[in-house]
Amino acid sequence: MVVVMKPGTTQQQIDHVVHLVREMGLREHVIVGTERTVVACVGDDRFKDRARLETVDGVERVVPILAAYKMASREVKSERTLVNVGGVPIGGRKVGVIAGPCSVENRQQVLRIARAVKEAGAVALRGGAFKPRSNPYSFQGLAEEGLEYLAEARAETGLAVVTEVMSIDQVDLVGRYADVLQVGARNMQNFNLLSRLGEQPKPVLLKRGMSATLEEFLLAAEYIMARGNTQVILCERGIRTFEDYVRNTLPLAIVPEIHRVSHLPVVVDPSHGTGKSHLVQAMCLAAVAAGADGLIVEVHFDPEHALTDGFQSMTTAQFAAMMRAAKRVAEAVDREM
Ligand code: PEP
Ligand code: MN
């Protein structure tokens, strides 16, 4: 449930509500909006007595939340959440583009790609230092050495760094280098990892599991938010279907649907969402037209020799051309890039 405070309530009144919520065995999240403050109560409140809070000073009303997820729901917070990606807010008017190689391969590779995507207008650099690979004998990433190259690329270009964390024991290490911690599709329901990410200060880019429903996706975000970290970006990266001309099927209707049911920003990954570089530009434009708050795109100067996901990586020139085209689409839907 959510306790909606009257406009102009005092801090003392809010503190009193918080005290009562805790007494009921629930946890609180105080959300200060531009017009009023609401106190979201999390925990199992099915058998709690709402009436106890309804008559308290400063309280306007107490509303039950129908969605299974609470913190991620628009019922709790109607204003859009802005997530800070290295100083750039994602979730507002600007469509933020995160671009870079699938994997960090070596120092020169990352620096060269970082310079190119920065020049083309990206706001953040992606690149995996820890790679979740289907085959245990495939390239697994450069680990900390890769994180160092990403940090060097940030220092040179000013791009924020978005990189994947695969397990709880990597959270502190990756958090020291990254501006945003990426949770991969295969880890979307690694609930212990999600909870741990809720207890650290860096924003999280949460990728949708390849067989997860929208509700499961939002419940995964809820795991992070319930622990206090509300800086979550949802990332649609395509799902497994019977269709096989693409690596994954990219369901873009999820973008307006997420905006309807949640206040969290949503970013689209047309690289994994199609698995074919010749389809990426069209899906980038479509994602922007559908209202995506950002894109995450794999880029390599030599896709044929990329260690991972070369078949779906744009060349740096293709990326620059996509950015020019997407900018025009963004303007047509009252956004900027
Ligand atoms: C990636 O971003 O390179 C990646 C491994 O993505 P996903 O988790 O969506 O497969
Ligand atoms: Mn990849």
Which tens digit of pLDDT belongs to each residue from 248-279? 999 999 999 999 999 999 999 999 999 999 99
Of the candidates 274, 233, 277, the one whose C-alpha atom is nearest the C-alpha of residue 255 is 233
Q: Which residues contact 238 (CB under 8 A, 6 or more apart)?
A: 210, 246, 247, 248, 249, 250, 251, 269, 272, 273, 274, 275
Helix runs in 232-334, H state only: 254-261, 270-274, 277-289, 316-332
pLDDT at 257 (0 to 100): 98
- pLDDT confidence tier of residue 209, bands split at 50, 70 and 90: very high
pLDDT at 34 (0 to 100): 82
Residue 155, pLDDT above cutoff 90: yes
pLDDT at 47 (0 to 100): 80
295 forms beta bridges with 97, 268
pLDDT at 44 (0 to 100): 84
pLDDT at 45 (0 to 100): 80
Percentage of residues in the chain having pLDDT higher than 70? 100
Q: How many CB atoms lie within 10 A of CB 67?
A: 16
Residue 322, pLDDT above cutoff 90: yes
- Classify the C-alpha dihedral 133-136-142-143 as positive or negative: positive
The pairing of beta strand 59-63 with beta strand 27-32: unpaired
pLDDT at 173 (0 to 100): 98
pLDDT at 66 (0 to 100): 86
Residue 130, pLDDT above cutoff 80: yes
In whole angstroms, how far apart are CA 180 and each of 61, 79, 177, 232? 36, 22, 9, 9
pLDDT at 274 (0 to 100): 98
Which residue of 164, 235, 271 sits with most ligand 1 atoms within 8 Å of its CB, as the best mutation to test the pocket?
Answer: 164
pLDDT at 48 (0 to 100): 81
pLDDT at 168 (0 to 100): 98
> Ligand 1 in contact with 300 (CB < 6 A)?
no
Q: For the whole model, what pTM was predicted?
A: 0.95
pLDDT at 238 (0 to 100): 98
H or E element, residue 194 = helix 191-197
276 neighbors 249 (Cβ within 8 angstroms) = no
pLDDT at 203 (0 to 100): 98
How far is residue 146's CA from residue 142's CA, in Å, rounded to a whole number? 5
184 C-alpha to ligand 1 centroid (Å): 5
pLDDT at 166 (0 to 100): 98
CA geometry: angle at 202 spanning 200 and 207, to 5°? 105
Mean predicted confidence (pLDDT) in 179-184: 98
Which residue of 269, 271, 280, 312 sits with most ligand 1 atoms within 8 Å of its CB, as the best mutation to test the pocket?
Answer: 269
Atom of ligand 1 nearest to the CA of 308: 3
pLDDT at 50 (0 to 100): 85
Mean predicted confidence (pLDDT) in 226-254: 97
Average pLDDT of the chain, as a whole number: 96
Percentage of residues in the chain having pLDDT higher than 90? 92
| Nearest Cα residue to atom 4 of ligand 1 | 184
pLDDT at 285 (0 to 100): 98
135 C-alpha to ligand 2 centroid (Å): 14
Residue 46, pLDDT above cutoff 80: no
> Ligand 1 in contact with 272 (CB < 6 A)?
yes
